[in-house]
Amino acid sequence: MSKILSQKIKIALIQLNGSSPNKLDNLNRAAKFVEMAMTKQPDTQIVVLPECFNSPYAVTKFRENAEVINNDNKSQSIDFLSKIASKYNITLIGGSIPEIDPMTNKIYNTSPIFNGKGDLIDIHRKVHLFDVDIPNGITFKESETLSPGTKLTTVKTQYGNIGVGICYDMRFPELTTISAREPNNAFAMIFPSAFNTVTGPMHWHLLARSRAVDNQIYTILCSPARNMESSYHAYGHSLVCNPKGEIIAEAGEGEEIIYAELNPEEIQNFRQSVPLLNQRRFDLYKDISK
């Protein structure tokens, strides 16, 4: 576990009904909910927004809503999120937004991460694209528009190290494992996610608990609220899972803010009780974190 993590940390997940065609409306709605969260629990230190909250989650809409993401010439959404982070002095996991790389013209599904000064300290480009075709369920192919990211993301914050993935990344355990093990030592894995009403009931809770138990860290999923009038129906049920695989906070389907306290002793105690870190047989199988 990261030696930096030595205090309890309060986190808020913002399950909001964004993703409308009006980007400014989506951003203002996010700001309103963050203000509500900070007013109700002003000692909150980390705030998480959902996947693709600032624009429609649709392959036909990614490019037209894409923005350049950097600290030098802040785009509309990046400037907006930066000001929210600095206003409340919070670490802000800015959900995800469509990003365009001006050098390559490629489009990514990207999570921007800000510190309490409003600085953009890292980004995570969705590594595994959501390309599925479930009979009598859902067909969705992000790769029609998006390109996959090419790096794994563990962010250094003042509270310790946090791994970040986006939605479908959750299904691939290697991302969480690499963030959780040395030298990254993440105490939590955060996934802005938009599982749908087909895949959500099947695997949402299962995957959150599995990633937490496998690595003995907190797993945090932040979903958009469910809106049956939109083209994509998010599952909702944003949640926080502790290192023992227990869900300690969970939203319903609609707009909601949930809070949780992340306790380093939970990680320490469970790792002492079930010492997986010392029992792995790397003489028989590869340590993928190396």
**What residues contact 290, with CB distance under 8 A and at least 6 apart?**
none
DSSP secondary structure letter of residue 225: P
Catalytic residue among 23, 51, 99, 253: 51
Instruction: Give CA 80 to chain center in angstroms.
Output: 18
250 is catalytic: no
Tokens of 48: 């998480």
- Are 77 and 28 in contact by the 8 Å Cβ rule? The answer is no
Residue 23 CA to residue 161 CA, distance in Å, equals 31
- Are 17 and 255 in contact by the 8 Å Cβ rule? The answer is yes
- Are 238 and 222 in contact by the 8 Å Cβ rule? The answer is yes
Tokens of 215: 């690595």
Instruction: Give CA 199 to chain center in angstroms.
Output: 17
51 is catalytic: yes
Buried residues in 76-96 as b, exposed as e (16+ CB within 10 A): ebbebbbebbbebebbbbbbb
Decide: helix, strand or coil at residue 236.
coil
Q: What's phi and psi for 153, nearest 5 deg?
A: -130, 115
Strand pairing class (107-114; 120-125)? antiparallel
Catalytic residue among 23, 52, 67, 126: 126
HEC per residue, 116-127: CCCCEEEEEECC
Catalytic residue among 52, 167, 222, 241: 167
Q: Which residue has the tokens 């964004």?
A: 18
126 is catalytic: yes
Which residues does the annotation mark as catalytic? 51, 126, 167
